[in-house]
Structure 1
């Protein structure tokens, strides 16, 4: 399991150069500088959230992933979200910027609003082993997380959950994406379903350049589905026609063409 690395983005220069105390006063004492919460480059499963003393267990798929440039992405159990994050000492401040708008029912629909309510603003982090607790300033709201290793790019089933247009993400059209998913194989094939029909095609993965290129026409089944599913499938086939830049943040994958159009996908629960 990879060790978390210290966050170096959005942190004052003083904290980057300090070795434990200000002014070389030695270790300990009132002038000790607290180390920053080491969350950059880490990914976490959401276990539970407590709001005003009421604890709710998270549904499968709820997760958060911190990158190394002051961003956090994830899924609240239903929708994908993105936010800016700043860490100073043991305080993590989240400023949410975007959330997709897919409607969910049952446990997923009930858990997500509470998760989003807690995962916002300043939160005090307590790291113990593989567990991270984020607590609101008044102590009434708590988010419980468990670290997880990144999933491999190849061999993982990636569920398509959004479309990208020039850095703006949106959820899939209603009724279109229940079957949309793909697997990048180590054998040079990409297989899956883009909304309606199963497909298989040759793919070239360049991990150094971080590009994925689907080569040649795809072999597909010939089912007729609902208009939303067929429209999504047509759009996704258009996106896969040419080289795509990819960005993986643990369980989240984004594929974009040169125009900025693309898709987002999340690794399915293992």
Structure 2
């Protein structure tokens, strides 16, 4: 057992070193064997990867995660998670197969009762001293008390053809969540098409415009939009979204999360609409 633990520590430490150097995951075949035949891959980093949360086990009781729950460990020393409702973040120090997580900070949105229960359990299991174990594309974080968070590597969504739901408005160093009480039909969404256009809803009105994608950049042209008037909260979101989707920007996709940012720091964060939700009455 001691030999196995030392091997795991060396394996995870090597992965984290690669991640810190900017190495991306690939299809390499570096392997190590653990009990029960599990394969520990050396080409899946722990940090810098978008992880889908599969389940949480607390006090021996396993609970499935709500759709869209995710977690990411930043090589610079932060851990961020969304367990179905609020955004949660904390300082994180990674040493070998050990991750030390500081006191979490959370947004304060109201959620459904079952989601709140899961969020509380997952947040508790995310804190303190954690042991990380990689098996294939699965990551398990275990607390000193034996509670666990089970995660899977999240495959990156494609920019084109995906319906993106805007969740965050960026302004320099500030990130603001889109108000949770917006009517469902007013939640901003957008879709990029193969013909170099983008269309969707910006919070009140539907819009369409040019979006020239090259490498990691998107250059947005002037948008044509309908001219409805909505309550001020919705108009405020709309103005921020349209300002972000203007001119040259840089984009990144990690798992199901898209970030679009202009040189002045304005931008949006969006998540890929879960399968089956594309047929909503949302325009675009």
Common fold, TM-score beyond 0.5?
Answer: yes
**1:221-261 CA deviation, whole Å, 9 max, x = no partner?**
34443331122112211222222222322222222222222
- Structure 1 residue runs of 4 or more that deviate by more than 6 Å after TM superposition: none
Q: Does 1:256 align with 2:265?
A: no
Q: Does 1:55 align with 2:55?
A: no
> Greater share of helix residues, 1 or 2?
2
Alignment partner of 1:188 out of 192, 196, 200: 196
For structure 2, list consecutive stretches of 5 or more residues without a partner in the other structure: 1-11, 21-41, 276-284
Q: Does 1:93 align with 2:100?
A: yes
Partner of 1:26: none
Partner of 2:6: none
Distance 1:151 1:96 in 2: 31
Residues 84 and 66 from structure 1, CA distance in 2 versus in 1: closer, same or farther, beyond 3 angstroms?
same
Count of residue pairs the alignment pairs up: 240
Distance 1:188 1:154 in 2: 9
Q: Is the 8 A contact 1:82 1:99 kept in 2?
A: yes
How far residue 114 of structure 1 moved from its aligned partner, in angstroms, is 1.9
Partner of 1:132: 139
Q: Does 1:43 align with 2:50?
A: yes
Q: Is the 8 A contact 1:49 1:142 kept in 2?
A: yes
Q: Is the 8 A contact 2:19 2:47 kept in 1?
A: no
Query: Which secondary structure does the structure 2 equivalent of 1:236 belong to?
Result: helix
Distance 2:19 2:207 in 1: 43
Residues 73 and 54 from structure 1, CA distance in 2 versus in 1: closer, same or farther, beyond 3 angstroms?
same
Distance 2:165 2:179 in 1: 15
For structure 1, list consecutive stretches of 5 or more residues without a partner in the other structure: 12-34
How far residue 58 of structure 1 moved from its aligned partner, in angstroms, is 0.8
Query: Which secondary structure does the structure 1 equivalent of 2:15 belong to?
Result: coil
Distance 1:170 1:129 in 2: 35
How far residue 82 of structure 1 moved from its aligned partner, in angstroms, is 4.1
Distance 2:199 2:144 in 1: 47
Q: Is the 8 A contact 1:204 1:213 kept in 2?
A: yes
Q: Is the 8 A contact 2:51 2:255 kept in 1?
A: no
Alignment partner of 2:151 out of 145, 148, 172: 145
Q: Is the 8 A contact 1:78 1:102 kept in 2?
A: yes
Query: Which secondary structure does the structure 1 equivalent of 2:17 belong to?
Result: coil
**1:45-66 CA deviation, whole Å, 9 max, x = no partner?**
1111122333322110001234
Structure-1-length-normalised TM-score: 0.77
Q: Does 1:175 align with 2:184?
A: no
Partner of 1:243: 248
CA RMSD across the alignment: 2.9
Query: Which secondary structure does the structure 2 equivalent of 1:77 belong to?
Result: coil
How far residue 190 of structure 1 moved from its aligned partner, in angstroms, is 0.9
Q: Is the 8 A contact 1:174 1:228 kept in 2?
A: no
Structure-2-length-normalised TM-score: 0.73
Q: Does 1:121 align with 2:122?
A: no
Partner of 2:208: 200
